Amino acid sequence: MVDRVSFSCLADIKAAGFDDVIDVRAPAEFADDHLPGAMSLPVFSDAERAEVGTIYVQEDPFKARKVGAALVAKNAARHLETALADRAGGWRPLVYCWRGGQRSGSFASILHQIGWRVSLIEGGYKSYRRLVVQMLYDVPLPDHMVLIDGGTGTGKTALLAELRRMGAQVLDLEALAQHRGSLLGGQSGGQPSQKTFESRLAMELADMDLARPIFVEAESAKIGRLRLPPSLWQAMQRADHIRLEAPLMARAQYLADSYGDVVADMDELQARLSHLVPFHGHDLVARWQAMAQTGDYQALAAELVAQHYDPSYARATRRARDPLAVIELAGIDQADLSAAAQQVLATEFSKLVEG
């Protein structure tokens, strides 16, 4: 008999130690969201799922189950001959579908008959999604977040990477959202769905010790088109912050270097700059577009920081408390970031001692 397993929290999924997690839902369902790290081995294609559903509703449930069983067998055979061809006898997979019903049960039975130690998620993806919602919507997160704040181009994301290298707990929201947070911050491939973003976020938090400080970049309530879920946003609103400051031209050079993927596509860069017309008018935006066209990226970045980003930051940043520290960077190279990270950790340690 195939084992059915239930999880009381997200951390239990990783702690269970399965060799692979297999999502047997249709590709469109997988694309909308899935357990992080799961492999997609659909037992129905999107078209096949629609076909079986139509037969079930419009013709006969028995016929739908018969057609569905044939499709599961056909697709399972393909997966066994390809994606699963190299799995050894002791392989231990975890399988799920939407509700933990016929699709995952049928596929798991085939794997079980082969001799693999397969388990099913009780309640399927829906039970997993409830745990994500519980963490990010229903239960307050502990007050152990520390925001890394500062204007655009002050190296906040790079500082988080340095803090992580030094062993600190870091939540990189921009990496999870696949967006750098600013108007020009979109990345190739676009952003994930809201549910996928939340899955990534919840599983990152599940890996952390929530009693220890978690360093996170200060963000608005949205990163690109994705919303920060309420438990996280409320914890960030309550959090202490450390502000970074750096000279304008150092910031401009950092941005020019960091946005190489953006400037590599001139048409896309021109289109993104055009979105600034409602804020700055046609003449100024045309000037910025001309600077981009001639490759004067550092000067362009300097003007964008001084005339667009910093004023926007000043309007948006209204914090009730003073920063724990203000770190002034002479530049934004590796040595500067390493020194800043050490200062951040020392500041947080001092706060813990005083508290």
Residues 6+ apart with CB under 8 A from 17: 92
Distance of alpha carbon 146 from alpha carbon 170, whole angstroms: 10
- Please tell me which residue in 22, 41, 95, 97 is annotated as part of the active site: 97
Residue 232: name the closest of 249, 246, 214, 245 by CA. Answer: 214
Backbone phi, psi, residue 23, to 5°: -100, 115
Residue 103 tokens read as 């699709």
User: Do residues 80 and 65 touch, judged by C-beta distance below 8 A?
Assistant: no
Distance of alpha carbon 281 from alpha carbon 123, whole angstroms: 54
Residue spans of beta strands (DSSP E) within 30-155: 39-40, 93-96, 119-121, 145-150
User: Do residues 54 and 217 touch, judged by C-beta distance below 8 A?
Assistant: no
Q: Which strands sit side by side in the sheet containing 169-171, from one edge to the other?
A: 169-171, 214-217, 145-150, 240-245, 325-328
Residue recorded with tokens 């929290």: 9
Distance of alpha carbon 145 from alpha carbon 136, whole angstroms: 15
Q: What is the dihedral of CA 4, 10, 16, 22, to 10 degrees?
A: 60
Distance of alpha carbon 286 from alpha carbon 232, whole angstroms: 39
Catalytic (active site) residue 9 = no
Active site residues: 97
